[in-house]
Structure 1
């Protein structure tokens, strides 16, 4: 039986695989339900999701560290969370509901990053948390009545990370290659 070479990690993909797994372990240690610091939870959740999107793109794009790496830098086409979400969606690497939830998490993260008084109890942030959908499909459509906006956010982020981590492998199986026609 011949193995499909798209599923065998090699080169930079091996390094990225272990980097992502190390980041996921660190995230697991920091993104706890016992954490009382809303800002840490909001910023950390959004940051890790952005990082996983970057891993999806690296897995999908051709192995050209210079070109791809430059696109991911700040002030470049894929240098921010919003653009990573858009390109992953437009390339068919994530579904619409995932895109919508990622944009909500991005907005929440930005509120916490730019507003000293941000809280999961702020009306705008609370509404965004309650709009998260993916975890309702993945876990349960009826969260417990006592669930707080912060609970919605944490369960939503964890559900997105689980899903997107699988998308990295799917993107790797659809990896683009550089055309050398001439």
Structure 2
């Protein structure tokens, strides 16, 4: 499946703001799924690491950092995920018409686009596409990578109890002394 085509079709009728926020949300959710697949599973429907106001990895930024620190993603991938997060924040927090033509957004998208080779032709030249399509191309291959990573990742298995929690083995009763040894003990006492 070509995620660029899927995203392009999904977002072609959306505003720039909606396209960015939704694409970043998909990437964030896949990053959460990747981390969940790696960590020891929890029994309940909610996970205190991810869910709730004070969840330690409840934010996109924290998930990016943890995924990098435990070796799930490279430093370049983490940096680019942070760029996507910052672009999302520009669109989410600017009340007035933020667009891909905004200088700060355009600069971040160019930085994001220049860090990968997905828009290179066979001769190594960068294809000329709109800033919006540069963003969608970058997000699409990163989403594809995270989707694949979720299916390939090995979960950490829960450790069995440490030795301090184990009940001590019962002591074996010493074998009773043989009659000759008992006689020798009696003789020495006399």
Scaled to the shorter chain, the TM-score interval is 0.7 to 0.9
Aligned equivalent of 1:10: none
Q: CA–CA distance in 2 between the matches of 1:91 and 1:32? A: 32
Residues 27-68 of structure 1: per-residue CA shift (max 9 Å, x gap) = x47863623510111100110000000110110001114497
Distance across 2 between alignment mates of 1:110 and 1:85: 15
**TM-score, length-normalised on structure 2?**
0.72
Which structure has more helix as a fraction of its residues?
A: 1
The answer as to 2:112 corresponding to 1:129 is: no
**Normalising by the residue count of structure 1, what TM-score does the alignment of the two structures yield?**
0.75
| Aligned residue pairs, count | 154
Partners of 1:169 and 1:177 in 2: how far apart? 16
State the Cα distance separating 1:137 from its structure 2 match. Answer: 2.6
Matching residue of 1:7: none
Question: Is residue 120–residue 126 contact of structure 1 (8 Å, CA) maintained in 2?
Answer: yes
Unaligned runs of 5+ in 2: 166-190
Greater gyration radius: 2
**2:62 is the counterpart of 1:80:** no
Question: Structure 1: 5+ residue runs without aligned partners?
Answer: 1-24
Q: 1:49 to 1:70 in 2, by over 3 A?
A: same
Moved over 6 A (4+): none
Structure 1, residues 95-144: CA drift from partner, whole Å, max 9, x if none?
11111110000001011111022111110100100111587334525332
From 92, 100, 123, the equivalent of 1:120 is 100
**Change in CA separation of 1:45 and 1:65 when aligned onto 2, cut-off 3 Å:** farther
Deviations 1:62-112 (A, max 9, x none): 111449711102431111000000000000001111111100000010111
